[in-house]
Chain A
Amino acid sequence: MTAMGSSQLTPLQRIELEAVAAAVQAQFGSGISVERGSRGVALAIRLNEANVLAALSKALFWDIGCSFGGLIVEELSDRWRLSYLFLASGSGWIEVVLEVPAAVQAVPSISAEVHAADWFERETEDLFGLRFEGHPRLGDFILHDQIWPEGVAPHRKPQRRSVNVHQMHFRRRPNPDWRPLLVVQDPGSFAMPVGPVYEGGIGESLHFMLETVGEDVLRAVPRLFYKFRAVEKIAEGQQVSDVLLLAERFAATSSFAHSLAFSLAVERICALEVPKRAANLRVLLAELERLRHHAGAITGICESTALAVAASQAAIIEERLLRASCEFAGHRYLFGLNTPGGLRRDFVSRDFENLTGAVDRAVEDLHVLEDRLHFTSSFLDRLEDVGVVDPSKARDLNLVGPVGRASGRGHDLRRECPYGGYDGYTFETPREAEGDGYARLRVLFQEGYASAGLIHQAVERMEPGPVAAPCDSFVAGAALGWAEAPIGSALHWIRLDGSGVVERYRAITASFNNWLGFHAAVEDFAFQDFPIILATFGLSATECDR
């Protein structure tokens, strides 16, 4: 399969931090102070006045060309600390820090300038009760309005688990008068509800109102957070080792990437040097997870088009990779391997031989499958020009991961912001310009092959040595860790006290980012395309909900 539209792709440009610093200094002068960042952040921009926030975000995102990373809100003893992350391609993370006194109840919204910040602000309003002035639609997001009263802010500090949370405990009755917000108001229009318990097969719990006037669906905005388990809140007050278990288990289909990002953040706080062997092993395991995930995503796409034989063959590839993971690491989803400082176990050369044998076989089978799919016109007809997100929209909505890369984005943290052991590895990051379902399928295949190549490189680079640096004592502090999970970038922010107790844990996931942009792909489409668009996006509700 060739990339027909590769000529339309804009080349990726490196953004130099010095240039960013000079540009924002010149524009905002005394409104901000720019300093070198630390512990995972390359450049920190502190705001001296809150009212330049929106203009500064706009300058970073649109004029300078940074991607938006997310919003981290912390309730410190006497103040709010809001940290807006931007990624300068090739140079690292830029943090815009706004600190306001604890009594402040509203801060400026940046959603009008940076659309990708929309859900982050809604999330903060729901969980912390901090309002964003100028945001058009706050409320009814994570805490669903039919069960939760307004004014509940469960992530606020005084409402610790042991104290207040049981007062808000479940078993409240839902409000029978609640109705979802419908936008399409044409005469004859109606809404078809889908989910949260799926009418057909197995799906994650989420809900759509397909607003339609008959054949064509005009609008389908996902209603998520049915699976919200307050991971960030229950992590507070727990030891690092216990929070690691949570980080590994809130989204199991990319559990290794999340536990890796978490471990990297802790290693930054404690200034731990990860041994070379552990770094290579982490690359190997992360890429094994990506290959397996993509095989699963391809299975999903074949299933969504009702191509049963192809779906079965893809499912066999996926199951074999799950078995190979289990044989290699003892767990089908790679639980229990990462630890701050490295890995919890070592492997012998015989393990690597078995694993690379299984990976080679999977790649061979994927090639055969891809070739056959390429000659199945009935299949291609259902993917091409379906669920199109053009590159400008993908940029606007800040899509990440394979979905973003199928719409021309070059966002790949392994390359843009290397972490762990990825320095010195050579691999391709596929990009496509069409942004339709077929482009997303091609990206999945290409990334799968690239991951297999990385696994081979990791095995070749494996050198003897320890697999973990001892992590016996903790220091107080906060740091950012990140990893390119199979679905896209995963960011974990951790604040520790001196005894290794987590004070604030924040996980920003690719699914959260991409579900926000999902509506761009589901505007005015035919009913029967809906499962296909959903499958080609391949998003995870649990990773979004946390």
Chain B
Amino acid sequence: MSFWFWHGLKKGVRSTHYPREFESAAGVSPGRPVATEFDSAAEAVVAAANCPADAIVARGSAAEVKLERCIYCQHCHYGNSHLLEWHSDYEWTMAVPGRGKYQPLPTAYHRSLHVIVVDAGDCGACLHEVKQLNNPLYNMHRLGIFLTATPRAADVLLVVGPVSENMRVPLLKTYEAMPAPKRILAVGACAINGGVFGRTFMSAGGVASVLPVDLLVPGDPPPPLAILHGLLAVTGRKSPVLQAASSEGNS
């Protein structure tokens, strides 16, 4: 039907200018809680106790945030006393502590990065946000990032979900089928440490307990631009900005 072509053209270019410019449209990101100074140490302890995911740590009179543990329950955002400040950005990819400085893929990958996505027990939100990167508003193809159909052609393994027991073997097989050099990106709180599902007989409690993760994208779910930031960090076009707490991994 020829009219589709015409209607498509008429809509014009809708894509964001990120990473060239900061995208500031309302609602592109839920933001994130950040370290907040309280009047006393006791108040910081109260603020930390609000968090059901142990993502807030009281240190003196400040409440510090381990974003990689945050499940976006919003308990420190509204509906409680001792709330934290929130920043409305989305560049929060983290390097994995204890694995040294992250080695980005060589520059040859800058404009040709092939990603395979494995859903290892995700709730649907992270997967859905990865899917949004393909819509015209984000359009990751313009940055040379492509989803690939086969692990044989993939450079990055993007994993969402806490690694359910039934998905563990398919995940390992996918990783083994990928050629080197390869990187693993754990997207979402569940992929980082199991999130609300934790470590049980059916959940490995994060990708790190079965595979060597390279970069973490916290969030529950991380918005599309945060995932895009993670993919740009894989090739070194952006650098991981936050440092994960040293105890992270598979607790």
Contact = CB atoms under 8 A, between A and B. Distances in A.
Q: Do A and B bind each other?
A: yes
Interface of A: 144, 147, 154, 161, 165-166, 168-171, 174, 196-205, 225-231, 233-234, 241-242, 245-246, 249-253, 255, 296, 307, 309-310, 312-313, 315-316, 318-319, 322-327, 330-333, 335-337, 339, 344-345, 372, 375-379, 540, 542-543, 545
Nearest to B26: A327
Interface stretch (B60-68, B71-79, B103-111, B232-240): B71-79
B206 to A, nearest CB: 12
B77 A310 contact: no
Nearest to B30: A331
A309 B5 contact: yes
Interface stretch (B38-46, B93-101, B115-123): B115-123
B193 interface: no
B211 interface: no
B24 to A, nearest CB: 12
B164 A333 contact: no
Nearest to A234: B200
B79 A344 contact: yes
A318 B137 CA distance: 11
A147 B135 contact: no
B182 interface: no
Given A309-B8, A323-B27, 4 more contacts: A227-B164, A246-B197, A253-B124, A345-B79
Nearest to B7: A309
Most buried by A among B25, B75, B132: B132
A278 B196 CA distance: 26
Given A169-B201, A201-B147, A331-B30, A319 B132 contact: yes
Contacts of B5: 309
The 9 residue pairs across chains A and B that have the minimum distance between CB atoms: A323-B27, A336-B74, A252-B125, A315-B135, A326-B27, A165-B201, A344-B79, A309-B8, A327-B27
Interface in B189-219: 195-198, 200-204
Interface in B114-142: 116-125, 127-132, 134-138
Most buried by A among B117, B124, B170: B124
A322 B132 contact: yes
Contacts of A540: 124
B250 interface: no
B14 interface: yes
Interface string B156-179: 000001101111111100100000
Given A169-B201, A204-B124, A252-B221, A229 B72 contact: no
Contacts of A344: 74, 78-79
Contacts of B135: 312, 315-316, 318-319
A376 B30 contact: no
Most buried by A among B28, B30, B116: B30
A203 to B, nearest CB: 7
A197 B78 contact: no
Contact of B166 (A154, A165, A198, A227): A227
Contact of B121 (A144, A229, A241): A229
A230 B205 CA distance: 13
Contacts of B91: none
A316 B12 CA distance: 13
Contacts of A227: 119-122, 161, 164, 166-167
A324 B27 contact: yes
A234 B162 CA distance: 14
Contacts of A376: 1, 4
Contacts of B198: 234
Interface residues on B, range: 35 or more
A333 B125 contact: yes
A229 B194 CA distance: 10
Contacts of B120: 205, 227
B174 A197 contact: yes
Nearest to B150: A199
B155 interface: no
A171 B165 CA distance: 8
19 contacts: A197-B118, A201-B147, A205-B119, A205-B121, A226-B167, A231-B197, A233-B202, A249-B71, A249-B196, A250-B123, A251-B124, A255-B123, A309-B5, A323-B27, A330-B77, A335-B220, A344-B79, A377-B1, A379-B1
A515 to B, nearest CB: 15
A196 B161 CA distance: 14
A112 to B, nearest CB: 29
B170 A249 contact: no
Contacts of A378: 1
B72 to A, nearest CB: 5
Contacts of B125: 249, 252-253, 255, 333
A378 B2 CA distance: 11
Contacts of A327: 26-27
Given A202-B127, A372-B3, A315 B136 contact: yes
A249 B195 contact: yes
Nearest to B167: A226
B187 to A, nearest CB: 12
A345 B78 contact: yes
Contact of B201 (A166, A249, A332, A335): A166
A201 B134 CA distance: 10
B15 to A, nearest CB: 11
B193 to A, nearest CB: 14
B223 interface: yes
B123 A249 contact: yes
Contact of A245 (B71, B130, B174, B201): B71
B201 A174 contact: no
A204 B126 CA distance: 11
A313 B8 CA distance: 8
B241 interface: no
A341 to B, nearest CB: 11
Given A201-B147, A330-B78, A168 B201 contact: yes
B165 A170 contact: yes
Contacts of B196: 242, 245-246, 249
A519 B198 CA distance: 33
A309 B11 CA distance: 10
Contact of B26 (A147, A174, A323, A333): A323
Contacts of B71: 245, 249
Contacts of A154: 201-202
B52 interface: yes
Contacts of B4: 307, 309-310, 372, 376
Contact of B1 (A204, A231, A246, A375): A375
Contacts of A198: 149
B117 A202 contact: yes
